[in-house]
Chain A
Amino acid sequence: DVKVTQSSRYLVKRTGEKVFLECVQDMDHENMFWYRQDPGLGLRLIYFSYDVKMKEKGDIPEGYSVSREKKERFSLILESASTNQTSMYLCASSLYGGQDYEQYFGPGTRLTVT
């Protein structure tokens, strides 16, 4: 079974803090993704990575950056957290980038910025 794990289920940070969200997958997947999930908006793609050290912007990259130094690990970074970044963050991975490849999701990190 594919396992995608995220470092925290719940996180509370203060405005202006630098926040790191970590994601690890154990199935040697090439592609990894970061989404944020908000009520009424579904999932929106922040960034994705198709290889180590490679990244591409998704639909809402502003205020975020990512890092992928190792194939199994994909980090989302909030350089200076703001209250409008309070959300559920989901990490996902897929074997390859083709359309038919299923994405496997982590359990999510619920981030609150106060």
Chain B
Amino acid sequence: AQTVTQSQPEMSVQEAETVTLSCTYDTSESDYYLFWYKQPPSRQMILVIRQEAYKQQNATENRFSVNFQKAAKSFSLKISDSQLGDAAMYFCAYRSARYMRFGAGTRLTVKP
């Protein structure tokens, strides 16, 4: 069974600085997608970024980028120029043909 591990329960970053959230996963499949979701306090979870496993190029969405290392089964999220609105729980997720598995989450605090 696929598992997703986020080793950092909590992270903190100064406003305007850069922070990297870690995620590793375990799978024997070759075809899958990886996602980072953001859950702001008391608000709906939203998609931040996605990565297709067969693509070597790392995905980028504005200030958010990933470092996808397929051989190492690592999928970290980098947030550049952190803003107060980035404060949230971040979940890494793995999706295969049938359904999705999530990590335990990382709570990100942004200090002004």
Contact = CB atoms under 8 A, between A and B. Distances in A.
Chain A: interface secondary structure?
Answer: loop
Contacts of B45: 90, 105
B46 interface: yes
B43 A107 contact: yes
B100 A102 contact: no
Given A90-B45, A102-B50, A105-B46, A42 B4 contact: yes
Instruction: State which size class the interface on B falls in.
Output: 20 to 34
A49 B64 CA distance: 32
A111 B35 CA distance: 27
Instruction: State which size class the interface on A falls in.
Output: 20 to 34
B99 A100 contact: no
A43 B39 CA distance: 12
B47 A102 contact: yes
A16 interface: no
Contacts of B93: 43
A108 B103 CA distance: 18
A42 B100 contact: no
Given A42-B91, A105-B44, A100 B100 contact: no
B102 interface: yes
Contacts of A63: none
Interface in A19-67: 33, 35, 40-45, 48, 58
19 contacts: A35-B102, A40-B104, A42-B102, A42-B105, A43-B93, A44-B102, A45-B99, A90-B45, A99-B31, A99-B33, A99-B95, A102-B35, A102-B50, A103-B47, A105-B44, A105-B45, A106-B44, A107-B43, A107-B44
